[in-house]
Amino acid sequence: MKKLVKGNEAVVIGALVAGCDAYYGYPITPASEIAHAASEYFLPLGKVFVQAECEIGAINMVFGSASSGLRTMTASSGPGISLKMEGISYLAGAELPCVIVDVQRVGPGLGNIGPEQSDYYQVVKGGGHGDYRAIVLAPASVEETYRMTIEAFDLADKWRTPVFLLTDATLGQMMEPIDVRQEPTQRSEKPWALDTKPESNNNLVTSIYLDFDDMEVHINQLHDKYQQITDSEAKAEVYGADVPDIVLTGYGITGRMLRSAVDLLKDQGINATLVRPQTLWPFPTKVYQQVVKSGVPVLSVELSRGQFVEDVRLSLPGHSVKHYGRVGGNLPGLDELVEQAKLCLEEAKNV
């Protein structure tokens, strides 16, 4: 049935529907409602909820419960995600499934609690040490936040890897209806888990391989897996004209606003198409290559001075991609986006 909830609460409802067993977190605006809702729902259901002493504590508790085969999650915002990064590297190294939510706020430093999309490098390119990747899902609505949280748990189990849900202050704080019902989820068997069965006496969860050759084998195996994920899990929404005059691209809240911009441009006789990545790693490179024909200008919008745009450019070698960013907690207005699109078209004509 339909329920009007904040994006942050949708995360917790999605987690419950996915059968999440344990939540560990530490408060931070604008992510705190996730911890509020988790404490409200998890404890009476007999599930695990612990407010940790800090984000480092929380992510390492996640490590412990994920090692034990539980569906486990944590959530935070920029400063807390920075603290979690060491643990995330260990989770990736030890191939532990878990879900990490980053409700992005403004940085660097303490920044402020407004929306930004400036954790892109940290989350998508791997803020922790070592040669690892984590799947990153980027919802653009509360309903998608809910759905993707469920999906995140399945992907984490399927690939034995940490999965990020990357939202922002706007998506976390806004309310929209979600349609809550029982969903089929694919909880994997975890014969490797640490538990009290005699069979698990030989189980070992670690990321250390002292022998260089063993370590190389391990890293290579991780990357074989990452290649499979790249080949099979990349996703994007494409919306608008079949033969566009201009391609607009952005993820999350920005992608959603660009969808409105596509409609407004159409009213003014301009054919625009939106490419909105739903996975940021793996990045939907193929979608860009299919949609963006040579000579068609691309406008990339994000709430940052230019991080996401780097992956757009890498997906479209030789193609000129214009970046437009707002920062500090400000969101662009729709008229502003329309104006930028026209400017981009204009500049392309003059080249």
Q: Output the furthest CA–CA distance in the chain (Å, rounded).
A: 72
**Nearest CA among 121, 118, 176 for reference residue 145:** 176
Chain positions 180 to 199 lying near other proteins, rule: CB under 8 A, are 180, 182, 194-198
| Token pair in block for residue 97 | 């499934």
CA distance 286 to 264: 27
Q: Does 39 bind other proteins (CB under 8 A)?
A: no
| CA 126 vs CA 30, 106, 323: distances in Å | 22, 19, 22
Which listed residue (39, 82, 200, 230) binds other proteins by CB under 8 A? 200
Task: Give the nearer residue to other proteins in terms of CB position, either 229 or 257.
Answer: 257
Pick from 290, 302, 295, 297: nearest CA to 330:
302
Count of beta carbons in the 10 Å neighbourhood of residue 285: 17
Q: Which residue, 189 or 211, has its beta carbon nearer to other proteins?
A: 211
216 is a contact residue toward other proteins (CB under 8 A): no
Asked if 79 interacts with other proteins (CB under 8 A), we say no
Q: Which of positions 256-315 make contact with other proteins (CB under 8 A)? A: 256-257, 259-261, 263
Nearer CB in complex with other proteins: 66/138: 66
| 236 part of the interface to other proteins, by CB under 8 A | no
Helix (H) or strand (E) holding 136: strand 135-137
SS3 for 258? helix
| Minimum distance of other proteins from residue 279's CB (angstroms) | 21
Give the CA-trace dihedral at 44, 46, 48, 53, to 10 degrees: 50
Site for other proteins in 151-180 (CB under 8 A): 170, 173-177, 180
Q: Considering only residues 108, 109, 189, 202, which one is a binding residue for other proteins as defined by CB under 8 A?
A: 202
Task: Using CB under 8 A, pick the residue from 27, 64, 79, 127 that binds other proteins.
Answer: 64
- Interaction of residue 217 with other proteins, rule CB under 8 A: no
Q: How far is the CB of 260 from other proteins (least distance, A)?
A: 3
Between residue 125 and residue 144, which ones bind other proteins under the rule CB under 8 A?
Answer: 142
**Range in contact with other proteins (rule: CB under 8 A) among 16-24, 76-84, 145-153, 279-287:** 16-24
CB-neighbour burial class of residue 134 (10 A; exposed 0-12, middle 13-18, buried 19+): buried
Nearer to other proteins, 174 or 348 (CB): 174
Using the rule CB under 8 A, give the single segment among 144-152, 230-238, 255-263, 319-327 that binds other proteins: 255-263
d(C-alpha 98, C-alpha 88), whole Å:
10
Q: What angle do CA 207, 59, 251 make, to 5 degrees?
A: 100
Residues 87-126 that bind other proteins (CB under 8 A): 87, 90, 94, 112-114
Query: Is residue 337 within 8 Å of 325, Cβ to Cβ?
Result: no
Q: Which stretch binds other proteins (CB under 8 A): 117-125, 159-167, 253-261, 292-300?
A: 253-261
Nearest to 24 by CA among 66, 86, 68, 85: 66
Contact between 338 and other proteins by CB under 8 A: the answer reads no
User: Residue 240 or residue 284: which is nearer to other proteins going by CB?
Assistant: 240
